[in-house]
A = this chain, B = another copy of it.
Amino acid sequence: MSHEPLLVGVDAGGTSTRALLTDASGRCLGYGVAGRGNPISAGADLAADGVLAAVRAALAPSGAALADVSVIVPAMAGMRASGGSGWLMDRLVAEGFAGTLRFESDLLATYFSASASDSGYALVSGTGACVIRVQQGRIVDAGDGLGWLLGDRGSGFWIGRKIAQAAVQDLDGTGPATALTDRVLTHCGVARDAEVRDGRRQDLEELVGRLYATPPISLAGLAPYAFDEEDAVARRILVEAGEHLADTLTAVLAGPGPVVIGGSVLARSGALREAFLVRLGDALDGLELKSVDDGAIGAAVLAVRVAGGAADDATLATLTRTVSAFR
Contact = CB atoms under 8 A, between A and B. Distances in A.
Interface of A: 80-81, 105, 132-133, 138-144, 146-147, 149-151, 161, 164-165, 168-169, 172-174, 196, 198-200, 205, 208-209, 211-212, 216, 219, 247-248, 251-252
Given A174-B247, A205-B80, A132 B168 contact: no
Given A174-B247, A205-B80, A247-B174, A168 B141 contact: no
Given A173-B251, A199-B140, A209 B81 contact: yes
A139 B172 contact: no
Nearest to A216: B149
Contacts of A199: 132-133, 139-142, 252
Contact of A165 (B132, B150, B209, B247): B150
Given A133-B199, A174-B251, A199-B133, A151 B139 contact: no
Contacts of A140: 196, 199
Contacts of A248: 174
A219 to B, nearest CB: 8
B161 A143 contact: no
Given A199-B132, A199-B142, A205-B80, A211 B172 contact: no
Contacts of A172: 142-144, 146, 151, 251
Contacts of A147: 208, 212
Nearest to A211: B150
A164 B147 CA distance: 12
